[in-house]
Amino acid sequence: MWMNLVIIGVVVLDQLVKYFVQSRMFLNESIPVIRDIFQITYIRNKGAAFGMLSDLPANFRIPLFLAIGAGFIIFVFYYYKKILRESFLVRLSFSLITGGAVSNLLDRIFLSGEVRDFIELGINPSLKFAVFNIADSAITLGVCFLLVYFITAGGSKEKNAS
């Protein structure tokens, strides 16, 4: 089914690009692509998305992030048949989020609780966004699609009720 292809595609693309960056760059090295706007910056992120909660002690942080990632994946597999009956947008959302979660979970398992990040965006040196990866992008896009679905589905339900 196409949902599995999206999940596998996100995992494979993210892991291949992470491997490529890791094998060709030093940790904390940056390569400008579009000056002051887009750089490839290789870092290892101890925290959640965009470095959140990275200050937590490792003996708490690592099991927490592993449990959250694994818990979400178990949730998706448990509700898989129900998700299959949902709209295209919901299925795409869960596929993107699951692919991103699996890929970042693989990093956490094999890299002592860390995730490899490499995409750095900003307007200038003082307005930089957090460094992230393809898996983070897939998760964010999936969540945005879910929000669009719930906003539009909620609006159509209210119209039908009146």
Catalytically active residues, by annotation? 117, 136
* Pick from 98, 107, 108, 83: nearest CA to 139: 98
- Estimate the crossing angle of helix 88-110 against helix 134-161, to 10 degrees: 150
Between CA 27 and CA 4 the distance in angstroms is 32
| CA distances in angstroms from 38 to 34, 44, 47, 56, 114, listed in the order given | 5, 18, 22, 29, 23
Say which residue the tokens 């898989």 belong to: 80
Between CA 29 and CA 52 the distance in angstroms is 21
